[in-house]
Structure 1
Amino acid sequence: MRFVKADWDPEVPGFRLDAHAYLAELPRLRPALPPGARSFATDPGHYDIGAAIRCVKDLELTGVHLATDKSGELVLDFAPNRFKHDTGLRISYSRVTHFSIDYEHAIDWMKVDTVLLDEILPEEGGGCVHEIALTDGSITVRCEDLQAVWTDAN
């Protein structure tokens, strides 16, 4: 990620998380983001780590659904962390041109990958790139736009 920091600190041990540089840059980036990405990135609770409402931190990755018909559709499902969230999150991506999951760490004591933080940047010529830092890796999606919907945990 270019502005958001989500790095492992072996001295703690734990993650150092910092979205301040991204939040400072977001007013400049905002007009270039597609409408759905803009709405999600600028939601007031998105980076409020202490809040349970609409903060992505600690959501658990539960599903990756790729279209097989070359439509470019992708859906990522995230369950609520039972200690923090009341709702889960579903992100639907349109006209995906790139999707990858890269595993970088070896945290074998966690049963699921959870979200540390994310960052959405505009792409030159339209669209956006969404990067999601996970406890054990990262997700990168390049797409035309995305829709993020908070879903009932039941």
Structure 2
Amino acid sequence: MKYVDLDAQVGGLTGVIDPTRYLGRLPELSGSLPPGALAFATDPQHYSFSGKRCVKDLTLQQVSFLGNDGQDIEACFRHNCWKHDEDLVIRWTGVVHVRIETPDGTSWSDLETVILDEILPHDHGCSHEMAFRPGTLMITCRDITATWAETDCPDARQGQGTS
């Protein structure tokens, strides 16, 4: 990632995930992002680790290639019940490039839990890089649509912490 630091140091603590540089650049970059990518990247909860719509800790569940040309890709991300109320569906439209890197290969099935992501302007629209435990996904596309959908996750206020 260009701006999100996945191995920052805060005080004496190392290995901290820190989107501060990216968030500082986002106002400048936002004028060059397509509308869907802009809305997703600038959602106030997107990079708030305690936010219900933060991408951190989502798990990749399913990937579909849409249309005859396969230029649209849709991925469903499963919530983490301790943090999220909703699942996330991301659709990348007008995909021109996909790169997957994991220690075990280059397959969608090797990607698991999201660490964080970064969306940047690109000549084709935008690039979306997602860091996973383990691996990385990089997609270059015309635009991104992110939709949060209700889940079967019980309300975090009900029943947790009781035995």
Q: TM-score range by the shorter chain?
A: 0.7 to 0.9
**Matched position secondary structure for 2:82:** coil
Q: Which residue of 1 aligns with 2:90?
A: 91
For residues 133-144 of structure 1, what are the structure 2 equivalents within 5 Å? 133-144=131-142
Q: Which residue of 2 aligns with 1:70?
A: 69
**Matched position secondary structure for 2:27:** helix
Higher RCO, Cα 8 Å, sep 6+? 1
| Number of positions where the alignment pairs a residue of Structure 1 with one of Structure 2 | 144
For residues 17-96 of structure 1, what are the structure 2 equivalents within 5 Å? 17-51=17-51, 53-67=52-66, 69-96=68-95
Deviation at 1:8, TM superposition (A): 9.4
TM-score, normalized by length of structure 2? 0.81
Gaps of 5+ in 1: 106-110
Deviation at 1:149, TM superposition (A): 0.2
Deviation at 1:99, TM superposition (A): 1.3
* Cα distance change, pair 15–137 in 1 and its aligned pair in 2 (3 A): farther
Deviation at 1:16, TM superposition (A): 2.4
Deviation at 1:50, TM superposition (A): 1.6
Identical amino acids, percent of aligned pairs: 40
My pick for the range that moved more, 114-123 or 61-70, is 61-70
Gaps of 5+ in 2: 105-109, 153-163
- Whether 1:4 aligns to 2:40 is no
Distance 1:152 1:135 in 2: 24
Deviation at 1:121, TM superposition (A): 0.1
Distance 1:71 1:112 in 2: 20
